[in-house]
Structure 1
Amino acid sequence: MPAPRPASRLTSRPLSRRVVVDSSLSLVGVGVPTWLASRGGWLKGAAGSSTATAATAATVDRAALTARLDQHRTTRGGTMGLVVHDLRNNARFSWRPYTNESLSTIKVLILVACLRKVQDTGVRFTETQHSQARRMIQSSDNAATDALLAWVGTPNVQRAAGLLAMNATVVRGGSAGGWWGYSTTTPADLVTLLDALALGTAVIHAGHRAHIRHLMAGVVPAQRWGVADPPLPESVYTETKNGWGPLTGGYRLNSIGRVTGDGRNYTMAILTRSPQGFAYGKETINGLSRIVHAALVLPL
């Protein structure tokens, strides 16, 4: 079956919005989710005050966010965890993180390693390799991944993980290491990878980072779930890569990406194991993404 055509890149510019709350304004009026605003102490002032007069320094009530995620997990079942990095204020939030098989999220790291090899050796990508890289990221083509991994070598992908400080990631591949999709990683490591692409890294230069992000922005519509869940507002711009597949202990569905616009700017990685297959797991991971996006009307 031919791969779906890549999604067109959104042209909306990221929005910039500062949430300012005054004691004369209702909580709903500033767009704070009801489940977050209804808890006491949802506002945190610079001096630790929970009064609305300190609201110019308002941040997410992490206890409320945790409770909402816990509630979602209880109603859905399975294993799940995430890490989100708010690039507006460099704050992070971690919820039930654990180690999971990467499935196709490892493809972003494979491409980083390939472009690192290009820099180190001076050997350029061929037209075929450019096509393989595009298909690997935008339509999750496994055959293209096999070819690029054979070219760069599994040890060099592991080396790239080390250079990026993805210290909990173990890269598989080749006859001795098993299938690359069974590489193991954590939400924190995947956010580290995303941050390197978004904010800069010495591992690959800016042009290569921009190319990877361009490919991640053009992932085919059918694979834009999780972090890039389509019900997010149209003003939102996303760069994403997902991974999924059946394994003992639950169908793996993982999602990584960056979200900008609608007043937000964050990177996030979500790892899950669904007890009832792909479709059910997709609904579960989409729910996690929407909860976090709603909460981030305020900075972390």
Structure 2
Amino acid sequence: MRVRGISLFAALLLVPGSGTSITTPRPAVPVPQPGGVVVESALPVAARRALDRSLDRYLRRRPGRATLAVYDRTTGARYAFRERTPFMLASVAKVDILLALLLHRPRGLDAYERRLASGMIRHSDNDCAHELYMRIGGRDGLTRVLHRLGVEHTSLGSGLYWGWTRSRPSDQVKVLERLTDPEGPVSARNRRYALELMSSVHPSQAWGVSAAGGEVALKNGWLPAHVHDGLWTVNSVGRLGVHGHELLIAVLSERSPSMETGIATVERLARLAVDALTRTPVTTA
């Protein structure tokens, strides 16, 4: 689908989500875990401050704002950057909808629901997302699920405007955790299905955190937001397997002058953060 043009721009002012052409990520595969129990840990202070400076230095040269969070499931390390205010999710909210749907159907989706879920994640189809949103109880239903799972800093958009949901990247990392954790609330069957969908998005929508390399399962969101005078919200979340690390990452951005500018910002931030976490020893908290 074209990302420029008056008709598409006008449509996006009302309905979140669409696509552009970059690269195709490799499918996500299980990443070997180290022996023993992984506990919560943190980057060493020097490494964390170095990453803070690196991200700050890059963003000073970029238009708009951005924030990110990463969880390295292999080491237990967590990192968050600029989480002071929530950002609009656009079509990243479809991952939240998928999580609630799969919890509602622990034995698996029926054929019609699978068709809707495939359209929603692989093609970012808004009509499919609307119908599934209603099936999980709309705003109230999704809010209940997220709060029950500890996703506490996410505020759903009013009415059916799920794309206007505002959230912090750490909350979206939590969504990915609940969706992909072998010991989590989602059944093994549904967990595999979610990763299958996110590992096979349309090639035109395969940009974002996939720029950090490795095995990828992702979902992106993009929207010229009228609340920001038509400037672009561009987001990317996903699960990466990089250098033996399993990483869950969310990068959110807003107020870019173009979609391409927003994509470049998101991809650079993902590369910087992933590189730092995969080459730096962590300290046990």
Mapped pair 1:136 → 2:123: no
- Give the secondary-structure state (helix, strand or coil) at the position aligned to 2:247: strand
Please, which of 107, 111, 117 is the counterpart of residue 104 of structure 2?
117
Structure having greater relative contact order (Cα 8 Å, sep ≥ 6): 2
- Give the secondary-structure state (helix, strand or coil) at the position aligned to 1:61: helix
**1:113 Cα deviation (Å)?**
1.5
Mapped pair 1:285 → 2:266: yes
Per mean C-alpha deviation after superposition, the further-off stretch among 7-16 and 65-74 is 7-16
Task: Flag the 1:79–1:11 CA change in 2: closer, same or farther, 3 A.
Answer: closer
Mapped pair 1:158 → 2:140: no
Amino acid corresponding to residue 70 of structure 1 in structure 2: D
Task: Flag the 1:202–1:268 CA change in 2: closer, same or farther, 3 A.
Answer: closer
1:61-76 equivalence runs, <5 A: 61-76=47-62
Please, which of 223, 231, 235 is the counterpart of residue 254 of structure 1?
235
Amino acid corresponding to residue 142 of structure 2 in structure 1: V
- Give the secondary-structure state (helix, strand or coil) at the position aligned to 2:279: coil
**Alpha-carbon contact 2:240-2:247 (below 8 Å) kept:** yes
* Rg larger in structure: 1
Count of residues paired in the alignment: 251
Aligned to 2:154: 169
**Alpha-carbon contact 1:136-1:145 (below 8 Å) kept:** yes
**How big is the alpha-carbon RMSD for the aligned residues of Structure 1 and Structure 2?**
2.9
Aligned to 2:90: 103
Q: 1:113-146 CA distances to partner (integer Å, 9 max, x unpaired)?
A: 2222224xx7x63322211101101111111111
Q: 1:208-266 CA distances to partner (integer Å, 9 max, x unpaired)?
A: 1221111111112221222112xx44xx1011111110113231111111111323321
Aligned to 1:224: 206
**1:153 Cα deviation (Å)?**
1.7
Aligned partners of 2:236, 2:199: CA distance in 1, in Å?
14
**1:299 Cα deviation (Å)?**
4.0
Unaligned runs of 5+ in 2: 3-18, 35-42
**Alpha-carbon contact 1:169-1:183 (below 8 Å) kept:** yes
Task: Flag the 1:164–1:13 CA change in 2: closer, same or farther, 3 A.
Answer: closer
**1:200 Cα deviation (Å)?**
3.8
Mapped pair 1:266 → 2:266: no
Amino acid corresponding to residue 250 of structure 2 in structure 1: A
**1:14 Cα deviation (Å)?**
4.4
Aligned partners of 1:223, 1:59: CA distance in 2, in Å?
36
Amino acid corresponding to residue 224 of structure 2 in structure 1: P
Aligned to 1:23: none
Please, which of 173, 176, 187 is the counterpart of residue 169 of structure 2?
187
Amino acid corresponding to residue 112 of structure 2 in structure 1: T
Aligned partners of 1:127, 1:183: CA distance in 2, in Å?
28
Aligned to 1:275: 256
Unaligned runs of 5+ in 1: 18-56
**Alpha-carbon contact 2:29-2:241 (below 8 Å) kept:** no
**1:83 Cα deviation (Å)?**
0.8
Per mean C-alpha deviation after superposition, the further-off stretch among 215-224 and 59-68 is 59-68
**Alpha-carbon contact 1:13-1:261 (below 8 Å) kept:** no
**Alpha-carbon contact 1:60-1:299 (below 8 Å) kept:** no
Aligned to 1:196: 178
**1:270 Cα deviation (Å)?**
0.8
TM-score w.r.t. structure 2 length?
A: 0.78
Aligned partners of 2:33, 2:135: CA distance in 1, in Å?
42
